[in-house]
Amino acid sequence: MARISGKDLVRISGTRSGFALELGTPLERGDDPRLYLPSQKLCREIRDAGYDGIRYPSAMKQDGTNVVLFDPAKAEFVESRLVRVTDVAVTY
């Protein structure tokens, strides 16, 4: 968990959910890196508008949230925990 100082994060939801899904999609080894240029450009414009980051829904975990911090020095980490993964189940 992190506490952010300065401007709030841009929250991506509603009509922007397609963009949020694109941001949350993991990079695959064979993906063309140029496919990420629109996302990178929009993130740069949000950063340049003075926002500290972006919050968007996770594509990997239902009800999960991802956060992009443009300057991690502006965040204060207030909670952390170490977990040990003991089992993984993969289905397709």
DSSP string covering 64-91? -EEEEES-GGGEEE--------------
Task: Kindly state the tokens that stand for 51.
Answer: 């926002």
Tell me the whole-structure pTM to 2 decimals: 0.55
The CA distance from 81 to 40, in Å, is 30
For the stretch 6-63, pLDDT in tens is: 455 555 555 455 666 666 667 777 888 777 777 788 888 889 988 888 887 777 778 8
- The mean pLDDT of 68-88, rounded to a whole number, is 86
* 68-73-74-80 Cα dihedral, nearest 10 degrees: 70
Residue 20 pLDDT: 62
Residue 16 pLDDT: 56
Residue 32 pLDDT: 81
* 64 touches 58 (CB < 8 A): yes
Q: Which residue has the higher pLDDT, 4 or 83?
A: 83
